[in-house]
Chains A and B, each alone.
Chain A
Amino acid sequence: MIRAENIFKSFGDVDVLKGIDFLFERGKTNLIIGKSGAGKTVLLKILVGLFEPTDGHVWYDDIDFCTLNEKQVRDIRMKVGMLFQGNALFDSMTVAENIRFPLDMFTKMTLKEKNTRVDECLAQVSLDGSNNKYPSEISGGMQKRVGIARAIVLNPKYLFCDEPNSGLDPKTSITIDELISSITKEFDITTVINTHDMNSVMEIGENICLLHQGKLAWQGNKSEVLDSDNKTLHDFIFASPFLQRLKDRALNK
Chain B
Amino acid sequence: MFYKETIRQMYDIGIGSLPIVAIISVFIGAVTAVQISYQLSDAFIPNYYIGYLVRDMMIIELAVTFTCLVLAGKAGSKMAAEIGGMRQKEHIDAMEIMGVNTSSYLVFPKIIAAVFCIPILVFISAIIGIFGGYMATILAGLFKESEYIKGLRAFFDPYNIVLLYVKAVVFSYILTTVSCYQGYFVKGGSIELGQASTRAVVYSDILILIADYVIAVVLTV
Residue of A nearest to B98 (CB): A102
Taken together as a complex, chains A and B put the C-alpha atoms of A49 and B98 apart, in Å, by 11
The stretch of A26-34, A73-81, A165-173 that contacts the partner chain: A73-81
Q: Let me know if A50 is at the binding interface, CB within 8 A.
A: yes
Residue of B nearest to A77 (CB): B99
Q: Let me know if A236 is at the binding interface, CB within 8 A.
A: no
Taken together as a complex, chains A and B put the C-alpha atoms of A88 and B90 apart, in Å, by 5
Residue of B91, B96, B97 near A90 (CB, 8 A) is B91
Q: Let me know if A209 is at the binding interface, CB within 8 A.
A: no
* Closest beta carbon of chain A to B33's beta carbon, Å: 43
Residue of B nearest to A85 (CB): B90
Interface residues of B in 55-111 (CB under 8 A from A): 89-91, 93-94, 96-101, 105
Residue of B nearest to A86 (CB): B90
A105–B1 CB distance below 8 A: yes
Taken together as a complex, chains A and B put the C-alpha atoms of A77 and B97 apart, in Å, by 6
* Closest beta carbon of chain B to A153's beta carbon, Å: 10
Taken together as a complex, chains A and B put the C-alpha atoms of A106 and B100 apart, in Å, by 9
A104–B98 CB distance below 8 A: no
Q: Which residues on the A side are within 8 Å of B101 (C-beta)?
A: 74
Interface residues of B in 183-211 (CB under 8 A from A): none
Number of B residues, CB within 8 Å of A: 13
Q: Which residues on the B side are within 8 Å of A154 (C-beta)?
A: 98
Interface SS of chain A: mixed
* Closest beta carbon of chain A to B185's beta carbon, Å: 14
Number of A residues, CB within 8 Å of B: 21
B93–A77 CB distance below 8 A: no
Q: Let me know if A82 is at the binding interface, CB within 8 A.
A: yes
* Closest beta carbon of chain A to B116's beta carbon, Å: 22
* Closest beta carbon of chain B to A215's beta carbon, Å: 26
A78–B99 CB distance below 8 A: yes
Residue of A nearest to B94 (CB): A88
**Given known contacts A104-B1, A105-B1, is B97 in contact with A50 (CB within 8 Å)?**
yes
Taken together as a complex, chains A and B put the C-alpha atoms of A48 and B99 apart, in Å, by 11
Q: Which residues on the A side are within 8 Å of B94 (C-beta)?
A: 82, 84, 88
A106–B91 CB distance below 8 A: no
* Closest beta carbon of chain B to A27's beta carbon, Å: 21
Q: Which residues on the B side are within 8 Å of A48 (C-beta)?
A: 97
B90–A77 CB distance below 8 A: no
**Given known contacts A88-B91, A104-B1, is B100 in contact with A82 (CB within 8 Å)?**
no
Q: Which residues on the A side are within 8 Å of B1 (C-beta)?
A: 104-105
**Given known contacts A74-B101, A105-B1, is B89 in contact with A88 (CB within 8 Å)?**
yes
Residue of A nearest to B92 (CB): A88
- 8 smallest A-B Cβ distances: which pairs? A77-B99, A88-B94, A88-B90, A74-B99, A82-B97, A78-B99, A84-B90, A104-B1
- Sample 15 A-B pairs with CB under 8 A, ordered by A number: A50-B93, A74-B101, A75-B99, A77-B96, A77-B97, A80-B98, A82-B94, A84-B94, A86-B89, A86-B90, A88-B90, A88-B91, A101-B98, A104-B1, A160-B97
